[in-house]
Amino acid sequence: MTALIQARGLRKSFGSTDALRGIDLGIQQGEVVAVMGPSGSGKSTLLHCLAGVVLPDSGTVSVGGTVVTALSEAHRSKLRLTQFGFVFQFGQLLPDLTAVDNITIPLLLAGMKRRQALTAAHGWLDRLGLAAAADQLPGELSGGEAQRVAIARALVTRPSVLFADEPTGSLDSLAAENVLVAMLELVRGSGTTLVMITHDPRTAAYADREIIVRDGQLAATDRVGIA
Ligand code: ADP
Ligand code: MG
Protein backbone atom coordinates (compact mmCIF):
# COMPACT_ATOMS: atom_id res chain seq x y z
CA MET A 1 0.00 0.00 0.00
CA THR A 2 1.30 3.42 -0.88
CA ALA A 3 1.69 5.81 2.01
CA LEU A 4 -0.41 8.99 2.08
CA ILE A 5 2.71 11.01 2.91
CA GLN A 6 5.98 9.84 1.42
CA ALA A 7 9.27 11.64 2.04
CA ARG A 8 12.46 10.53 0.36
CA GLY A 9 15.99 11.73 0.97
CA LEU A 10 15.05 15.00 2.65
CA ARG A 11 17.95 17.33 3.28
CA LYS A 12 17.76 20.91 4.50
CA SER A 13 20.45 23.27 5.70
CA PHE A 14 20.20 26.74 7.16
CA GLY A 15 23.60 28.33 6.50
CA SER A 16 26.09 25.94 8.05
CA THR A 17 23.43 24.12 10.12
CA ASP A 18 22.32 20.81 8.63
CA ALA A 19 18.77 20.59 10.00
CA LEU A 20 17.77 17.50 7.98
CA ARG A 21 20.40 15.02 6.83
CA GLY A 22 18.55 12.51 4.69
CA ILE A 23 15.12 11.51 5.93
CA ASP A 24 12.96 8.78 4.39
CA LEU A 25 9.51 8.42 5.89
CA GLY A 26 6.14 7.02 4.92
CA ILE A 27 2.91 7.78 6.80
CA GLN A 28 -0.33 5.94 6.11
CA GLN A 29 -3.71 7.61 5.76
CA GLY A 30 -5.37 7.89 9.17
CA GLU A 31 -2.16 7.14 11.02
CA VAL A 32 -1.33 9.11 14.19
CA VAL A 33 2.42 9.67 14.32
CA ALA A 34 4.31 11.23 17.22
CA VAL A 35 7.59 12.91 16.29
CA MET A 36 10.03 13.02 19.18
CA GLY A 37 13.67 13.92 19.65
CA PRO A 38 15.93 16.49 21.31
CA SER A 39 15.49 20.22 20.88
CA GLY A 40 17.15 21.37 17.66
CA SER A 41 17.17 17.89 16.13
CA GLY A 42 15.09 18.93 13.11
CA LYS A 43 11.53 18.00 14.12
CA SER A 44 9.91 21.28 13.13
CA THR A 45 11.90 21.48 9.92
CA LEU A 46 10.75 17.97 9.01
CA LEU A 47 7.13 18.92 9.68
CA HIS A 48 7.52 22.11 7.62
CA CYS A 49 8.96 20.12 4.71
CA LEU A 50 6.16 17.52 4.85
CA ALA A 51 3.58 20.32 4.81
CA GLY A 52 5.21 22.26 1.98
CA VAL A 53 5.90 25.25 4.22
CA VAL A 54 9.63 24.89 3.60
CA LEU A 55 11.24 23.37 0.52
CA PRO A 56 14.06 20.91 1.20
CA ASP A 57 17.43 21.48 -0.50
CA SER A 58 17.06 17.99 -1.94
CA GLY A 59 14.68 15.09 -1.68
CA THR A 60 10.97 14.84 -2.36
CA VAL A 61 7.70 14.89 -0.46
CA SER A 62 4.49 13.58 -1.93
CA VAL A 63 1.08 13.70 -0.30
CA GLY A 64 -1.75 11.71 -1.81
CA GLY A 65 0.28 11.30 -5.00
CA THR A 66 0.93 15.04 -5.38
CA VAL A 67 4.63 15.82 -5.40
CA VAL A 68 4.53 18.75 -3.01
CA THR A 69 8.20 19.61 -3.52
CA ALA A 70 7.57 20.10 -7.26
CA LEU A 71 4.83 22.69 -6.74
CA SER A 72 5.17 26.47 -6.87
CA GLU A 73 4.72 28.43 -3.65
CA ALA A 74 1.25 29.46 -4.86
CA HIS A 75 0.20 25.85 -5.36
CA ARG A 76 1.74 24.76 -2.04
CA SER A 77 -0.10 27.58 -0.33
CA LYS A 78 -3.38 26.40 -1.86
CA LEU A 79 -2.62 22.83 -0.80
CA ARG A 80 -1.96 23.96 2.77
CA LEU A 81 -5.21 25.88 2.87
CA THR A 82 -7.37 23.11 1.41
CA GLN A 83 -5.72 19.84 2.48
CA PHE A 84 -3.76 20.54 5.66
CA GLY A 85 -4.49 21.87 9.13
CA PHE A 86 -1.90 23.30 11.51
CA VAL A 87 -1.74 23.65 15.28
CA PHE A 88 1.21 25.20 17.09
CA GLN A 89 2.40 25.39 20.68
CA PHE A 90 0.77 28.77 21.14
CA GLY A 91 -2.58 28.70 19.33
CA GLN A 92 -1.84 31.81 17.29
CA LEU A 93 -5.45 32.85 17.39
CA LEU A 94 -6.13 36.34 16.10
CA PRO A 95 -6.47 38.33 19.35
CA ASP A 96 -9.12 40.77 18.12
CA LEU A 97 -11.52 38.10 16.84
CA THR A 98 -13.84 36.02 19.00
CA ALA A 99 -13.36 32.27 19.29
CA VAL A 100 -16.08 31.54 16.76
CA ASP A 101 -14.77 34.15 14.30
CA ASN A 102 -11.27 32.69 14.55
CA ILE A 103 -12.66 29.31 13.52
CA THR A 104 -14.47 30.75 10.52
CA ILE A 105 -11.28 32.21 9.00
CA PRO A 106 -10.21 29.18 6.91
CA LEU A 107 -13.77 28.74 5.62
CA LEU A 108 -14.08 32.40 4.64
CA LEU A 109 -10.71 32.17 2.88
CA ALA A 110 -12.06 29.15 1.00
CA GLY A 111 -15.00 31.27 -0.17
CA MET A 112 -17.75 30.07 2.15
CA LYS A 113 -20.52 32.52 3.05
CA ARG A 114 -20.18 33.99 6.54
CA ARG A 115 -23.50 32.64 7.82
CA GLN A 116 -22.65 29.10 6.74
CA ALA A 117 -19.12 29.41 8.17
CA LEU A 118 -20.52 30.56 11.52
CA THR A 119 -22.84 27.55 11.64
CA ALA A 120 -19.94 25.20 10.99
CA ALA A 121 -17.74 26.96 13.56
CA HIS A 122 -20.42 26.72 16.24
CA GLY A 123 -20.70 23.01 15.50
CA TRP A 124 -17.00 22.52 16.20
CA LEU A 125 -17.20 24.56 19.40
CA ASP A 126 -20.07 22.33 20.57
CA ARG A 127 -18.09 19.19 19.81
CA LEU A 128 -15.15 20.54 21.81
CA GLY A 129 -17.32 21.50 24.78
CA LEU A 130 -16.71 25.19 24.14
CA ALA A 131 -20.14 26.45 23.15
CA ALA A 132 -20.13 28.99 26.00
CA ALA A 133 -16.82 30.46 24.81
CA ALA A 134 -18.00 31.27 21.28
CA ASP A 135 -18.10 35.03 21.72
CA GLN A 136 -15.05 35.36 23.94
CA LEU A 137 -11.78 36.84 22.77
CA PRO A 138 -8.65 34.64 22.91
CA GLY A 139 -7.34 36.69 25.84
CA GLU A 140 -10.40 35.71 27.86
CA LEU A 141 -9.85 31.95 27.32
CA SER A 142 -7.73 29.59 29.39
CA GLY A 143 -4.70 28.10 27.65
CA GLY A 144 -6.48 24.81 27.15
CA GLU A 145 -9.59 26.48 25.75
CA ALA A 146 -7.49 28.54 23.35
CA GLN A 147 -5.74 25.39 22.10
CA ARG A 148 -9.06 23.66 21.52
CA VAL A 149 -10.23 26.69 19.52
CA ALA A 150 -6.99 26.46 17.51
CA ILE A 151 -7.68 22.77 16.90
CA ALA A 152 -11.21 23.55 15.73
CA ARG A 153 -9.81 26.18 13.37
CA ALA A 154 -7.31 23.65 12.01
CA LEU A 155 -9.96 20.98 11.42
CA VAL A 156 -12.88 23.10 10.20
CA THR A 157 -11.90 22.61 6.56
CA ARG A 158 -11.73 18.82 7.11
CA PRO A 159 -8.06 18.54 6.12
CA SER A 160 -6.58 15.18 5.16
CA VAL A 161 -3.56 15.85 7.38
CA LEU A 162 -3.28 17.73 10.67
CA PHE A 163 0.25 18.91 11.49
CA ALA A 164 0.72 19.76 15.15
CA ASP A 165 3.96 21.21 16.57
CA GLU A 166 3.97 20.70 20.34
CA PRO A 167 0.22 21.41 20.51
CA THR A 168 0.06 20.93 24.28
CA GLY A 169 3.57 22.20 25.06
CA SER A 170 2.37 25.39 26.73
CA LEU A 171 -0.22 23.70 28.98
CA ASP A 172 -0.14 22.14 32.43
CA SER A 173 -0.52 18.37 32.42
CA LEU A 174 -4.26 18.24 33.10
CA ALA A 175 -5.12 20.80 30.40
CA ALA A 176 -2.66 19.08 28.05
CA GLU A 177 -4.37 15.75 28.53
CA ASN A 178 -7.82 17.25 27.92
CA VAL A 179 -6.69 19.00 24.74
CA LEU A 180 -4.89 15.91 23.49
CA VAL A 181 -7.86 13.62 24.09
CA ALA A 182 -10.20 16.07 22.33
CA MET A 183 -7.86 16.37 19.35
CA LEU A 184 -7.38 12.60 19.04
CA GLU A 185 -11.10 11.93 19.25
CA LEU A 186 -11.68 14.32 16.36
CA VAL A 187 -8.87 13.04 14.14
CA ARG A 188 -9.59 9.37 14.80
CA GLY A 189 -13.30 9.91 14.27
CA SER A 190 -12.70 11.49 10.87
CA GLY A 191 -9.78 9.38 9.63
CA THR A 192 -7.54 12.44 9.59
CA THR A 193 -3.82 11.72 9.50
CA LEU A 194 -2.02 13.38 12.43
CA VAL A 195 1.67 14.24 12.51
CA MET A 196 2.37 15.58 15.99
CA ILE A 197 5.63 16.78 17.47
CA THR A 198 5.84 16.29 21.22
CA HIS A 199 8.42 16.18 23.98
CA ASP A 200 6.15 14.26 26.29
CA PRO A 201 6.37 10.45 26.22
CA ARG A 202 2.88 10.18 27.70
CA THR A 203 1.53 12.21 24.78
CA ALA A 204 3.48 10.10 22.31
CA ALA A 205 1.97 6.97 23.85
CA TYR A 206 -1.37 7.95 22.32
CA ALA A 207 0.09 7.68 18.81
CA ASP A 208 0.05 4.63 16.54
CA ARG A 209 3.77 5.10 15.98
CA GLU A 210 6.61 7.15 17.43
CA ILE A 211 9.47 8.32 15.30
CA ILE A 212 12.60 9.84 16.77
CA VAL A 213 14.62 12.54 15.04
CA ARG A 214 18.26 12.90 16.09
CA ASP A 215 20.69 15.23 14.39
CA GLY A 216 18.47 15.56 11.34
CA GLN A 217 18.04 11.82 10.84
CA LEU A 218 15.50 9.25 11.96
CA ALA A 219 16.65 6.87 14.67
CA ALA A 220 17.48 3.57 13.00
CA THR A 221 14.60 1.62 14.49
CA ASP A 222 12.06 3.99 12.99
CA ARG A 223 12.70 3.31 9.35
CA VAL A 224 9.44 1.52 8.91
CA GLY A 225 6.66 2.56 6.61
CA ILE A 226 8.95 3.29 3.68
CA ALA A 227 7.12 2.10 0.61
P1 ADP B 1 13.41 21.09 16.60
O2 ADP B 1 12.04 21.41 16.12
O3 ADP B 1 13.71 19.63 16.69
O4 ADP B 1 13.74 21.79 17.87
P5 ADP B 1 14.24 22.64 14.27
O6 ADP B 1 13.78 21.88 13.10
O7 ADP B 1 13.46 23.82 14.69
O8 ADP B 1 14.45 21.62 15.51
O9 ADP B 1 15.73 23.12 14.01
C10 ADP B 1 16.77 22.25 13.57
C11 ADP B 1 18.03 23.08 13.41
O12 ADP B 1 17.87 23.99 12.34
C13 ADP B 1 18.38 23.90 14.65
O14 ADP B 1 19.80 23.96 14.75
C15 ADP B 1 17.80 25.26 14.31
O16 ADP B 1 18.50 26.27 14.98
C17 ADP B 1 18.00 25.33 12.82
N18 ADP B 1 16.97 26.13 12.14
C19 ADP B 1 15.65 25.81 12.03
N20 ADP B 1 14.99 26.74 11.33
C21 ADP B 1 15.91 27.70 11.00
C22 ADP B 1 15.84 28.92 10.27
N23 ADP B 1 14.70 29.36 9.73
N24 ADP B 1 16.98 29.63 10.14
C25 ADP B 1 18.14 29.19 10.65
N26 ADP B 1 18.27 28.04 11.36
C27 ADP B 1 17.17 27.30 11.52
MG1 MG C 1 10.55 22.56 16.99
pTM surpassing 0.90? yes
Residue owning the nearest CA to atom 20 of ligand 1 = 45
Mutate to test the pocket of ligand 1, among 11, 14, 197, 215 (most ligand atoms within 8 A of CB): 14
pLDDT at site 223: 43
Query: What's the 129 CA to ligand 1 centre distance in angstroms?
Result: 35
Residue 103 contacts residue 153 (beta carbons within 8 Å): yes
Residue 16 contacts residue 27 (beta carbons within 8 Å): no
How do beta strands 161-165 and 5-14 pair? unpaired
Q: Which ligand is nearest to the CA of 164?
A: 2
- The minimum-distance atom of ligand 1 relative to the CA of 47 is 6
* Domain containing residue 183: 5-223
Query: What's the 173 CA to ligand 1 centre distance in angstroms?
Result: 26
| Dist CA 2 CA 191 (whole Å) | 16
What's the rounded mean pLDDT across residues 126-131? Answer: 92
| Predicted confidence band of residue 227 (pLDDT cuts 50, 70, 90) | very low
Mutate to test the pocket of ligand 1, among 13, 18, 23, 45 (most ligand atoms within 8 A of CB): 45
Provide the mean pLDDT of the chain: 93
Residues with CB under 6 A from ligand 1: 14, 17, 19, 37, 39-45
Mutate to test the pocket of ligand 1, among 16, 17, 198, 217 (most ligand atoms within 8 A of CB): 17
- Residue ranges with CB less than 5 Å from ion ligand 2: 43-44
Domain count, the chain: 1
List the single range of 18-32, 34-48, 168-182 with lowest mean pLDDT: 168-182
Residue 153 contacts residue 93 (beta carbons within 8 Å): yes
Q: The domain that contains 35 carries what CATH number?
A: 3.40.50.300
Rounded to two decimals, the ipTM of the complex is 0.98
Per DSSP, the three-state class of 207 is coil
